[in-house]
């Protein structure tokens, strides 16, 4: 399934559910996700790796809804986490700690202890100070942590600067030229086993060749480390495969990419780990919004909708493009060029700029597409806006997997 969304008789469906029914029943803005699409994307990874030791660790940060995590856990996914909160979510959703890798430059002592006690698979470490802290905490608990150092392979991901991470100037990882010395210095630490190498060079890569280049550099590094006596077992290549947001964006060939990686590692006896987020959930999701007003501006029009940067920050933060389409094919002929804006008091509060759209009228619904990743998870209560509901669709069934926030929840914990 390339996308779970299609028009039937002029009305948009997600799987076998008419999206307008969800919007009418639950109100807007509302996020919806297709369970089959998410499962299908996960299987694409898993099946392309069958026969090689591997684990696909879904990046929880992309969409951490418990029901999404549960369905991935049931499909056999491991999880890539970046905080204690994400570990808590994974555990609550029935995910096994033994399938969890923990990434991030700023793990706190409490988070490390929580992960050690839970018995996660491994830590992807980003500095020597962090390795030392993990070693000390693990030794105190009578444990030994499996550690991979996140390598910065100095490969340009050629993506948006805010989501590019694999160059020397970035805060992530340790430069590839320093790695061997880092492992040597960690050799004597009782609380850690230095048995992996990891990297993640950026996100939303439509061209997978930088990922393959990074993998090559890491496989060479593995052999150099082995020559020094380190029993490296795991190669974690991170996430990063992009999705087509624009109609003419090329769709990366996940199976082809994984076949290339299999080829690269086949003589090296490594267990492969991947941490895909966006490519699993982005296209499975949409944000549905209602048009509130159409407002003429100078030389353009504003379409004011009830979703805002608080629901989907990607356009404001990265100038990201999301397709916006009406739930019902418009009866009014012609198009309008408009900025699609939300109610938040910021000029950066837009979902699209100068977009040619059909004649959608106030009261009608639109869907912001490819919003299943980095959408709801990055939403906020700015302007005291309750966060949107989330709905999971499966076949002809749908259910609310997170209620819309209430005003009472907005002030919870305050005096």
Give catalytic residue positions. 345
Smaller CB separation from ligand LLP, 173 or 191? 173
Smaller CB separation from ligand LLP, 23 or 82? 82
Asked if 204 touches ligand LLP (CB under 6 A), the answer is yes
Q: What Å distances lie between residue 128 and 134, 220, 226, CA to CA?
A: 10, 22, 20
Nearest distance in Å: CB 283, ligand LLP: 12
- Within 10 angstroms of residue 3's Cβ, the number of other Cβ atoms is 15
Quick one: which of 276, 315, 326, 372 contacts ligand LLP (CB under 6 A)? Answer: 276
Q: How far apart are CA 284 and CA 65, in angstroms?
A: 13
Over the window 282 to 321, marking each residue x when it contacts ligand LLP by CB under 6 A and - when it does not, the resulting string is --------------------------------x-------
Q: How far apart are CA 349 and CA 310, in angstroms?
A: 8
Stretch of 11-19, 200-208, 304-312, 352-360 lying at the interface with ligand LLP (CB under 6 A):
200-208
Q: How far apart are CA 106 and CA 138, in angstroms?
A: 17
Stretch of 65-73, 272-280, 291-299, 396-404 lying at the interface with ligand LLP (CB under 6 A):
272-280
Asked if 114 touches ligand LLP (CB under 6 A), the answer is no
Over the window 94 to 113, marking each residue x when it contacts ligand LLP by CB under 6 A and - when it does not, the resulting string is ---------x----------
Asked if 125 touches ligand LLP (CB under 6 A), the answer is no
Q: Kindly report the CA angle at 158 between 183 and 246, in degrees rounded to 5?
A: 135
Stretch of 69-77, 127-135, 220-228, 269-277 lying at the interface with ligand LLP (CB under 6 A):
269-277
Q: Are 218 and 237 in contact (CB under 8 A)?
A: yes
Stretch of 273-281, 330-338, 341-349, 390-398 lying at the interface with ligand LLP (CB under 6 A):
273-281
Token output for 84:
């204690």
Asked if 279 touches ligand LLP (CB under 6 A), the answer is yes
Asked if 277 touches ligand LLP (CB under 6 A), the answer is yes
Site for ligand LLP in 12-51 (CB under 6 A): none
Alpha-helix residue ranges (DSSP H) falling in 12-83: 19-26, 35-48, 66-75
Distance of CA 205 to the CA centre of its chain: 13
Q: Are 199 and 166 in contact (CB under 8 A)?
A: yes
Q: What Å distances lie between residue 233 and 53, 222, 265, 273, CA to CA?
A: 10, 9, 12, 11
Compute how many residues bind ligand LLP; rule: CB under 6 A.
Answer: 18
Q: How far apart are CA 92 and CA 31, in angstroms?
A: 21
Asked if 130 touches ligand LLP (CB under 6 A), the answer is no
Counting Cα atoms < 13 Å in the Cβ hemisphere of 36 gives: 15
Nearest to 154 by CA among 171, 166, 169: 166
Alpha-helix residue ranges (DSSP H) falling in 65-126: 66-75, 84-92, 109-118
Asked if 238 touches ligand LLP (CB under 6 A), the answer is yes
Closest residue to ligand LLP: CB criterion: 239
Stretch of 27-35, 48-56, 87-95, 274-282 lying at the interface with ligand LLP (CB under 6 A):
274-282
Smaller CB separation from ligand LLP, 278 or 328? 278
Asked if 240 touches ligand LLP (CB under 6 A), the answer is yes
Q: How far apart are CA 299 and CA 336, in angstroms?
A: 12
Quick one: which of 4, 210, 239, 252 contacts ligand LLP (CB under 6 A)? Answer: 239
Quick one: which of 278, 290, 322, 328 contacts ligand LLP (CB under 6 A)? Answer: 278
Which residues contribute to the site for ligand LLP (CB under 6 A)?
59, 62, 80, 103, 163, 200, 203-204, 238-240, 275-279, 314, 374
């Amino acid at each position: 399934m390339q996308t779970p969304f299609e028009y039937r008789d002029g009305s948009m469906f997600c799987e076998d559910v008419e999206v307008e029914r969800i919007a009418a029943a639950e109100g807007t803005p509302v996020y919806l996700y297709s369970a089959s699409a998410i499962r299908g994307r996960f299987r694409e990874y898993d099946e392309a790796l069958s026969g090689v030791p591997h684990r696909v660790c879904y990046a929880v940060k992309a969409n951490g809804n418990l029901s999404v995590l549960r369905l991935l856990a049931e499909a056999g996914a491991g999880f890539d986490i970046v905080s204690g909160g994400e570990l808590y979510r994974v555990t609550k959703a029935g995910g096994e700690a033994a399938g969890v890798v923990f990434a991030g430059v700023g793990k706190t002592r409490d988070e490390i202890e929580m992960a050690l006690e839970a018995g996660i698979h491994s830590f992807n470490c980003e500095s020597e100070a962090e390795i030392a802290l993990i070693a000390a905490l693990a030794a105190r608990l009578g444990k030994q942590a499996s550690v991979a150092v996140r390598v910065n392979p100095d490969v340009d991901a050629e993506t948006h600067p805010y989501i590019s991470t694999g160059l020397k100037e970035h805060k992530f990882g340790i430069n590839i030229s320093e790695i061997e010395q880092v492992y040597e210095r960690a050799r004597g630490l009782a609380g850690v086993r230095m048995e992996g190498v990891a990297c993640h060079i950026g996100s939303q890569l439509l061209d997978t060749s930088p990922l393959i280049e990074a993998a090559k550099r890491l496989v060479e590094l593995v052999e150099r480390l082995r020559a020094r006596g380190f029993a490296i077992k795991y190669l974690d290549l991170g996430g990063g495969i992009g999705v087509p947001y624009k109609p003419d964006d090329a769709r990366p060939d996940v199976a082809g990419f994984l076949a290339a990686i299999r080829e690269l590692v086949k003589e090296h006896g490594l267990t492969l780990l991947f941490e895909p987020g966006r490519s699993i959930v982005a296209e499975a999701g949409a944000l549905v919004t209602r048009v509130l007003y159409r407002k003429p501006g100078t030389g353009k029009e504003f379409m004011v909708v009830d979703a805002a940067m608080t629901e989907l920050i990607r356009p404001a933060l990265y100038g990201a493009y999301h397709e916006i389409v009406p739930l019902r094919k418009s009866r009014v002929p012609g198009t309008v060029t408009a900025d699609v804006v939300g109610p938040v008091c910021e000029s950066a509060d837009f979902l699209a700029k100068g977009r040619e759209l059909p004649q959608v009228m106030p009261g009608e619904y639109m869907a912001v597409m490819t919003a299943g990743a980095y959408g709801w998870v990055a939403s906020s209560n700015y302007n005291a806006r309750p966060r949107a509901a989330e709905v999971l669709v499966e076949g002809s069934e749908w259910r609310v997997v997170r209620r819309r926030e209430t005003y009472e929840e907005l002030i919870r914990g305050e005096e």
